[in-house]
Amino acid sequence: MSAPLTDTGNGREQALLRRGVSPRVKGIRPCERADLPKVASLYEFVMRSGTRNPPLGLAQYFERTFFDCPWADPEIPPLVYDDGSGRIIGFLGSHVRRVLLDGHRIRVACGGQLVVEPEARTSAVGAFLFRAYLGGPQDVTITDGATENLRRMWAASGGETAPLKSIAWTRTLRPMRYGGDYLLERLKRPALAKRLRPLWKGLDRLVPGAIKSRLRPTRPQTSAEPLTPRALLELVPFVTESLRCYPDYDEPFLSWLFAEMAEMKSRGTLVRSLVRNNGGQPIGWYVYYLHEGISQVMHVAARRGAIEDVLDDLLHHAYVNGSAAVRGRLEPQLLGPLSERRCVFSFDGSTLIYTRSPVALGALLSSQCMLARMDGESWMGHHTEPLA
């Protein structure tokens, strides 16, 4: 285990060296609660409005997700780069998850929210923060939706790209509305999409009946009810019985997670469903954001042989509630069932993995691993929510 970055003198220098950072990089230290107003100001300027005046809720949101999460780990904190005068010119977020690998608990660090003052980018502040984070005591480091520049830095540090987890799947339900929303999403015009949706709804009514019938999901032979933390925990042993690697959920974490996810209103309405078969037996679950445009799937899991039924329940629920399309991240066990349900696949930004353990890397890249979008930070609202 690496020594903490808060060591002083020679101890601090040795800790930095273990993390792959030159001792001359003296500005890197763990983020503290008192730093969050400055962090929020930097993040607001670089990633949100371009001003130095963040909404009050942004610092509070960072506090809840970085420090108040039941799984927050003081040994794997978010990092800041202090320029020596008390000014924070760089920040790297950290979200720690507990995972079971071959029955043993490991710590998985999810790196996110890397921001650097524009004038400091030529000083490699971001690269130093990145290398310091990779050198922490976690067993595995992951990130979702990485840019090509970050992927190159990751590869240069010995990290790997997870090919399947870098692919998104999409199931079209209403083609005209989905096409319009998709185009404006790429153009970053969500407000215009909202105004034009009534027009697209009208155009969808003109789609030939044969095409509508082909796009309509199969009516499921299942029933669904709200998914509670306890119900999920009771089903986990059956869903994971053939897996080597999966989250070590507990009730406090799931309660915190579901409450935080539900607050992300810009993504839609959070739907958590426990799915039962005709005999009333629980067979799986799904968690997704229902949206009249593109609904985003955060987790879908099932007992062996039941994933098709759970997917049918999910797609049908989105269809009858007016969604234009459903999108999620590809997982190995979903490839065949999604292909059979007329889903299309596309690159969605690299999912990156860094670990010193060949055993852990092999498990994470295999079909025996269950780590979904819900288990990372891609659902978070630091850049999408008003947070007023």
Distance CA 80, CA 89 (A): 8
Q: Which CATH number fits domain 9-138: 3.40.50.720, 3.40.630.30, 3.40.50.1110, 3.40.50.12160?
A: 3.40.630.30
Helix (H, G, I), strand (E, B) or coil at 63: helix
Distance CA 371, CA 374 (A): 8
Taking residues 104-131, report their average pLDDT. Answer: 91
Same fold, 9-138 and 167-349: yes
Query: What pLDDT was estimated at residue 7?
Result: 36
Tell me the sheet residues that pair with 302.
284
Topology at the third CATH level for domain 167-349: Aminopeptidase (3.40.630)
Query: What pLDDT was estimated at residue 327?
Result: 96
**Over the chain, what is the mean pLDDT?**
89
The answer to whether the CB of 285 falls within 8 A of the CB of 271 is no
Taking residues 132-148, report their average pLDDT. Answer: 90
CA 280, 285, 291, 292 dihedral sign is negative
Query: What pLDDT was estimated at residue 42?
Result: 97
Q: What is the pLDDT of residues 43-68, one digit of tens each?
A: 999 999 999 999 999 999 999 999 99
Whether pLDDT at 23 is above 60: no
Cα 309 to the chain's mean position, in Å?
A: 25
User: Which one is predicted more confidently, 3 or 279?
Assistant: 279
The answer to whether the CB of 58 falls within 8 A of the CB of 382 is yes
Query: What pLDDT was estimated at residue 1?
Result: 35
Q: What is the pLDDT of residues 318-345, one digit of tens each?
A: 999 999 999 999 988 899 999 999 999 9
The answer to whether the CB of 79 falls within 8 A of the CB of 132 is yes
DSSP label at residue 68? S
Distance CA 148, CA 129 (A): 18
The answer to whether the CB of 5 falls within 8 A of the CB of 13 is no
Question: Which residues have a Cβ under 8 Å from the Cβ of 307 and sit 6 or more positions away?
Answer: 284, 300, 301, 333, 334, 337
Query: What pLDDT was estimated at residue 2?
Result: 35
Q: What is the pLDDT of residues 205-249, one digit of tens each?
A: 778 887 888 889 999 999 999 999 999 999 999 999 999 999 999
List the one residue out of 373, 371, 377 whose CA is nearest residue 69: 377
The answer to whether the CB of 35 falls within 8 A of the CB of 89 is no
Provide the residue ranges of all domains of the chain, joining segments of one domain with +.
Answer: 9-138, 167-349
Distance CA 231, CA 235 (A): 6
The answer to whether the CB of 364 falls within 8 A of the CB of 190 is no
The answer to whether the CB of 78 falls within 8 A of the CB of 60 is no
The answer to whether the CB of 248 falls within 8 A of the CB of 195 is no
Angle, alpha carbons 93-161-141 (nearest 5°): 35
Q: Is 362 left (phi over 0), alpha (psi -120 to 50) or beta?
A: alpha
The answer to whether the CB of 243 falls within 8 A of the CB of 368 is yes
Q: What is the pLDDT of residues 151-193, one digit of tens each?
A: 888 888 899 999 888 999 999 999 888 887 777 777 677 777 7
Q: What is the pLDDT of residues 284-314, one digit of tens each?
A: 999 999 998 899 999 999 999 999 999 999 9
Half-sphere exposure of 313 (CA within 13 A, CB side): 28
Q: What is the pLDDT of residues 204-215, one digit of tens each?
A: 777 888 788 888
Q: How confident is the model at residue 25 (pLDDT cuts 50, 70, 90)?
A: low
Distance CA 315, CA 271 (A): 12
Query: What pLDDT was estimated at residue 204?
Result: 77
What is the value of pTM for the model shown? 0.89
Distance CA 186, CA 182 (A): 6
Whether pLDDT at 8 is above 50: no
Q: How confident is the model at residue 17 (pLDDT cuts 50, 70, 90)?
A: very low
Taking residues 346-371, report their average pLDDT. Answer: 93
DSSP label at residue 2? P
User: Which one is predicted more confidently, 91 or 333?
Assistant: 91
Distance CA 273, CA 284 (A): 9
Query: What pLDDT was estimated at residue 113?
Result: 83
